Amino acid sequence: MPTQTTPALEPSFIDSHAAVEPDLGTQLRAYELMRTADELARLYEENKAVTAKYVHATARGHEAIQLATAFHLRATDYAAPYYRDDAMLLGLGLTPYELMLQLMAKRDDPFSGGRTYYCHPSLRREGFPVIPHQSSATGMQAIPATGLAHGLHYLESQGLLQDAAETPVVVCSIGDGAMTEGEVAEALQMAVLHQLPIIYLVQDNDWGISATGREMRAMDAYEFAAGFKGLQRLRVNGADFGDSYAGLAAAFDYVRRTRGPILVHAKCPLLGHHTSGVRREWYRGDNLAEHTTNDPLPRLHGQLLDLGVAEAELQQLGAQACALVEADYQRALAAANPDPATFADHEFAPPAVTEEAGERTPAGADKALMVDAALHAVDDILAEFPEALFYGQDVGGELGGVFREAALLAKKYGDTRVFNTPIQEAYIVGSTAGMSAVGAKPIVEIQFADYIWPALNQLVEELSKSCYLSMGKFPVQALIRVPIGAYGGGGPYHSGSIESTLLTIRGIKVVYPSNAADMKGLMRAAFLDPNPVIMLEHKGLYWSKVPGTEDAKTTEPAAGYVIPLGQAAIAQQADPEKLRQGETCVVITYGMGVHWAKTASKQFAGQVEILDLRTLNPLDFEAVQAAVRRHGKALVLTEEPLLNSFAESLAGRIQRTCFRQLDAPVFTLGAANLPAIALNVELEKQMLPSADKVATALAELLGY
């Protein structure tokens, strides 16, 4: 997507913010909710033997800016609060009782059913802004929140927003300490590059646990934001409700009109503990007394008295807040705990594809290379689903990917749908969480598997946990394409295999096709799946140029062909007579391993079945067990270094469940246990498995 023209900041922007003041009714509402937040913090402290069983943080000192923000959010907006934003949640209309259900990890916690911390909301409720799941919000949330705005920007550009009259805004709330995260800079870069409708609300209390602002940063967030051309900036007094309300009014108005980003920097006192587990008395000293002089609650109290509100009326509002909090606390104490039997619910959202469908070998169809099957699968998806978009490094423009796996898609669908990103793997992956939450359907690409590591934080903390911790409200529909594997001289940063690392991440699916037909069918299933799916695509199989990979080129299935995730396939059958005589074995493998096994098995005619896993998670372990029990001898083959790998783990499972049917130990074969693949092709050959090495292992296994 090309960079858009940055809208000039209107001269009236700062002046208009100073002129917009909250009316008396709004100020009284803010006062009552400030008293409610104060009573929550007080009750939590007085009952810390109960309330601090699980860690929590409160809004004390930050209430003014949080309530001002909440009062400007609409039901059509999106919010990404951070872990001390309980006053913001009260301002949106959530009750102390609902917050306490999460505080005590109760069954009816509306956000997570007792699965995650206090003030970690995820909400889809009529009349409220959408609050997608996010992690503990110490900087990581900036990317998914920006992804929300990016998704809205895309849907708006295509006329796909459900209510075209609305101008939804995203609010990303963040502490100033978290602004030093590299992922925050990635988010800001994309927000200004594409002019996205987002407000970054930075609550600055000069502390990051026990570290002061002087220790952590060379500049505050407002000064830092000056380096992002096109990101508007605004300072407000976060301890003053009137100034905060006026500033947020101007910020929301700016984003709704211009659809561009703004950063609001709010200085606030920190009056509570950093969290219940880090006591303020351990390190604050005289600083707490200094911060108390800037408490937003007595400040608003005095302002209301100056406006003619009677002291008795304010005391009555305080008494009502106290009574509500105490009553809700007693209700929450008595509320039911989660049913332990539900502990595993919502690991994944139910799959959309459960049966193979469409034509795998249509009459008259030509054979296709794997790279072309992948390209055509994405082309079919973009043609069929207008909410789908495709982005990553070099996939847009003229090149269409360094492997030409997206060739001409940008020209066909426009650079709003198929576009290049900066070298920002964290943003590429993490933005899909926000995209999915607004109804966009992202397909993204990491250029090489060796470069996925900067994205792991987002993959683990944001994507993988979202469905489980939101009780199924926010599964992340994301198709993440990753070219993988060695292909002859690619060297240490373009040849790696990473599936074992990915398979230790719960809550994501991992697919690994070995031929063109499976590539096309699995690609569609991965796109349609409502969960995050990583599609590992072996570079050495893309063009069938590597000797022995000719079978990766297959008849191309028709558009719409789909294979369910989690179904293995028999890539080669053994001779039934040799099977009956007990002269056979099975090779359990995937990707390039299928082709090594096929070549090696030519030396053992009819004696080798090859089971192609196709999907590594979910794993078709039933097919694995059935194959092992058929033959009694098994080789698990991988391209990865073998030590502590998925292959070794699978071999261990087989030994445990098929022990009585085994006629030999489960053999394993993989790459040498070295940290990288050498550039020199002869050194590479020494490290990796090959058809010859597989044949040696098969000879030993069959002769056991």
Token output for 419: 């576009």
**Beta-sheet pairing, 667-671 with 634-641:** parallel
Q: How far apart are CA 116 and CA 550, in angstroms?
A: 50
Residue from 72, 133, 301, 494 carrying the catalytic annotation: 494
Residue 282: DSSP 8-state: G
Token output for 7: 């809208």
The three-point CA angle 588-589-594 to 5° equals 115
Helices (H), 47-112: 48-51, 63-72, 86-92, 96-103
Q: How far apart are CA 97 and CA 330, in angstroms?
A: 9
Distances (CA, A) of 587 to 43, 184, 568, 698: 62, 46, 13, 9
Rounded to a whole number of angstroms, the CA Rg of the chain reads 29
Token output for 481: 């394409």
- Please report the DSSP string for 628-696 in residue order: HHHHS-EEEEEEEESTT-HHHHHHHHHHHHHGGG-SSPPEEEEE-S-SS--SSHHHHHHHS--HHHHHH
What letters, b where the CB count within 10 A reaches 16 and e where it falls short, cover 493-524? Answer: ebbbbbbbbbbebebbbbbbbbbbbbbbbbbb
Nearest by Cα to 297 from 537, 59, 591, 568: 59
Q: How far apart are CA 22 and CA 267, in angstroms?
A: 20
Catalytic site includes residue 494: yes
Q: Torsion-angle region of residue 358: left (phi > 0), alpha (psi -120 to 50) or beta?
A: left
Which residues are marked as active site? 494
